[in-house]
Structure 1
Amino acid sequence: MQQQLIETIEYRGMQIAIKVDAHAERVFGQADVCAGDEFKARLVLGAMQQRQDAVLKRVRCLAKAKVDAWSVANTALKAVRQSSHGAAARDSPDGA
């Protein structure tokens, strides 16, 4: 018998749509991550003899971790860009 769980959450400004399907002894979960109308990633997890709610929780954690990694990387990139612009202004002859 096939069963399905579906959950949609918003996390750090991104939408995460999670679907978990159970087929006999196998459970498959996938999370689609979007920012507004832009598709960012699909994360997929498969397990044997696992409960659907356990797979749902694991896929949700995986998707949130991916969003957290993007957030940290974007924050670091912005900081590097800002510091390089500040250094360029200090090094210019007219100080601008």
Structure 2
Amino acid sequence: SEIGGEGLPTDIPDVVLDATLLTDGNLTAVKLLTALNLCPSNGEARRLIQGGGAKLGEEKTTITAHDQQIAVTNGLLVWAGKKKYCRVKLA
């Protein structure tokens, strides 16, 4: 599906995330990307973050550090590059 302008894709998949992975509602950036299967490995997640390709939310806030604590909420949008993204569904 084509994305027009800065609009959001219409086909954002929900990915279930086990809430027990969170510590005080947080998860480190690397763990979040791998737990959501947006990156196959911690190393790839780190490279993505270093390259500025990992983003959060509808405003696409760039994740700046691999150990950044991300406040994970139900419905949080997570982006891995331009083609991979999902919405968190806590369970």
TM superposition score normalised by structure 2: 0.25
Choose 1 or 2 for highest CA Rg.
Answer: 1
Higher relative contact order (CA 8 A, sep 6+): 2
Bigger proportion of residues as strand: 1
Looking at secondary structure, tell me which structure has more helix per residue.
1
